Amino acid sequence: MTTTTPSGADAAALAATHGLAELGGRPPLTVYVRQLWERRYFAVELARSRFRAQNEADRLGAAWIVLLPTINAAVYGLVFGVIVKSASRPQHFIPFLVTGVFTFAFFSGCFSDGAKSIISNRGLVRTLHFPRAVLPIASVLQQLFALGPVVLVMCLIVLISGEPLSVRWLMILPAYFLMALFCAGVAFFAARLTIHVRDVAQLIPFITRLLFYVSGIFFAVSDKFSDHPTLTTVLKINPVNVYITLVRDALLSRDHGLEGVHADPLTWQLGIIWGVVMFVAGFLFFWRAEGLYGRD
Amino acid sequence: MTETNGAAVQIVAPTEPTEPTDSRPGKGRRSTPKSTVGVRPTVIVDNLHITYRVFATGRPAGSKDNQNRWLKRSPSMRRAREVHAVRGISFTAYEGEAIGVVGSNGSGKSTLLKAIAGLVPSSQGAVYSDTNPTLLGVNAAIINELSGERNIMLGGLALGMSLDEVKAKYQEIVEFAGIKEEFLDLPMRTYSSGMAARLRFAIAASVSHRVLLVDEALAVGDKGFQKRSEQRIRELRSTAGTVFLVSHALPAITKTCNRVLWVEQGQLKMDGPTKEVVDAYSNSAS
């Protein structure tokens, strides 16, 4: 212990007279949001650089961004459309499946990349000071960059499979916007939880897998469990299912009379609530631990 | 770090806890009224303690129960060990100071710097500063898989520059780092450690910092770069900044610093003008 150094209250007073603040805490929320806004170009540039670099080493390069979900959809189409044919398989299975798989890939990408966003940028976090919320946001932006070409291919497949092109297709824009808000919220939660308990990262594939199977990607929720009303309601509230339904509602024509593929006003309300609530809650949850990111 | 995890009692004894950290006349940095008139403090470190919790793997060295080790495995493997890396350091740094930090390996220098940078939370005591100090460490890569050019862009933006500001400073950063044109579009993982360290320093030094912490980062640079970085440190000092420099290269410290902290076993062993402390430190080492 030292004696003559300004200690305890004295040090705090000296710091206060010279406008010094205690480090290792978190800035007030308004300051934090302002700092974050000042780094908006950083978030975009980081996402873009990583997006460009991600497939550099592969022979086919950026083509993988669309190849991966396409192959994925083909595999699931083979398994659930040919090998285990079930009665609950909707008509017009290909556009139904493709919209589901492609949209789910956006969610799962945000979830896993968001969880890793602090850890995989450790060098950046330890070298430079910036609001750490930039990192989960950048990981969602990176997924959004990838979503562009993926949605183009998705629309192409839907078109080829016989769905008519219509103005309603534009409704995928608000749908994906709300979904991106939701995904950013998930990324915030996952990023902070991974810092506290590294083991969370091990569980993410299983949570993703579970969500994949309950989110009505290769079956229509209301058809599959028509004799279990409670279960159907729960599965319909499931945010991933909500966003997939919104996208399908925009792309797939109503002529086929598929229950559960089409959105009603309630689905849009759920989409807005999930998106806004998850984003705000996730952001606050992430901000509260701002001082902890970057420690060993 | 692991060498400091013995019991506290054992450590405190040889370092004479009362003598080292205080009782230095001269600078009078403690008696606030007299010498701080017109000189603003930039960093106040108040009785700082840093404790790491480490999940130790394996059995503690020297344990004898080899026979029953499978039975005892789980408790001994998952026990969280406390590593008390910094044990009550206090000092105040002022505008225009360049402060060298010396001490043997594992003495807590780097941990102290991380704490000043606000990267490690304190377990007791506090660090006060007006902005977040910037820490430049040896192995803090920026983004390895991206090119040097992207790293300059991103580093500048992360530091709060606008796109135009980064573009305006780009050439200056490249020249300062001394990176050849043909390397700029290669990923940073292909850089030599010296090149990477130079680029990081150049990026961080491109904005003026109130407090810059340099942890051995200059040692890897070549002669020309060392000259430029020493020059840059002097500039930062003259614009009312404070620079901390951790180094085992004493000449680098004597050339750039006007004050030196000697850290030993997590405590401040000596704090004073460069020559005095460096002399005492090199005498103790030999």
Whole-angstrom distance, CA of residue A172 vs CA of residue A218: 19
Residue spans of the domains in chain B: they are 2-133+209-285, 143-207
Q: Three-class SS of residue B198?
A: helix
Cα separation, A9 vs A14, in Å, equals 9
Query: Across the interface, do A21 and B18 touch by the CB < 8 Å criterion?
Result: no
Q: How far apart are CA A246 and CA A106, in angstroms?
A: 14
Residue B235: helix, strand or coil by DSSP? helix
B139: its two tokens: 């192995």
What residue in A sits closest to B157 (Cα-Cα)?
A42
The amino acid at residue B69 is R
Domain B2-133+209-285: which topology?
Rossmann fold (3.40.50)
Is A5 close to B47, i.e. CB distance below 8 A? yes
Helix (H) or strand (E) holding B268: strand B267-273
| Model confidence pTM above 0.90 | no
* Residue where the block lists tokens 């396409």: A70
Of all residues in chain A, the one with the smallest CA distance to B213 is A127
From chain A residues 139-198, the ones with a CB under 8 A of any chain B CB are: none
| DSSP 8-state symbol, A71 | H
Query: Which residues from B are below 8 Å from A15, CB to CB?
Result: 41, 44, 128
A257 lies within 8 A of chain B by CB: no
Neighbour tally for A278: CB within 10 Å: 21
Beta bridge partners of B101: B246, B261
| Closest by Cα among A37, A105, A43, A50 to A72 | A105
* Token reading at A117: 């966003």
Cα B119 from Cα A202, distance rounded (Å): 26
Q: Could you report the predicted ipTM of this complex, rounded to two decimals? A: 0.72
B126 DSSP β-pair partners: B46
Considering only the beta carbons, identify the residue of A4, A39, A129 that sits closest to B22. Answer: A4
Is the per-residue pLDDT at A68 higher than 60? yes
Q: Residue A23 pLDDT more than 90?
A: no
- B2 in the Ramachandran plot: left (φ > 0), alpha (ψ -120 to 50) or beta? alpha
Q: For residue range A217-264, what is the model confidence (pLDDT) as tens digits?
A: 888 777 777 778 888 888 888 999 999 999 988 888 766 655 557 778
Give the DSSP H/E element, type plus range, for residue B127: strand B124-129
The beta-carbon neighbor of B140 closest among A15, A19, A123 is: A123
pLDDT (tens, 9 = 90+) of chain B, 286 residues, equals: 333 343 333 333 333 333 334 334 444 344 333 344 347 888 889 888 888 766 666 555 555 555 555 554 444 455 667 788 888 899 999 888 889 999 888 888 888 888 888 777 778 888 888 777 777 765 555 777 888 888 888 888 887 888 898 899 899 889 888 888 888 888 888 888 788 888 888 888 887 777 888 887 667 677 888 888 888 888 877 876 888 888 888 888 888 889 999 999 888 899 999 999 999 988 886 6
Instruction: Catalogue the E-assigned strands of A89-237.
Output: none
3-state secondary structure at position B286: coil
Token pair in block for residue A196: 């506290």
Burial class of B110 by CB neighbour count within 10 A (0 to 12, 13 to 18, 19+): buried
In this complex, how many residue pairs, one in chain A and one in chain B, have their CB atoms less than 8 Å apart? 154
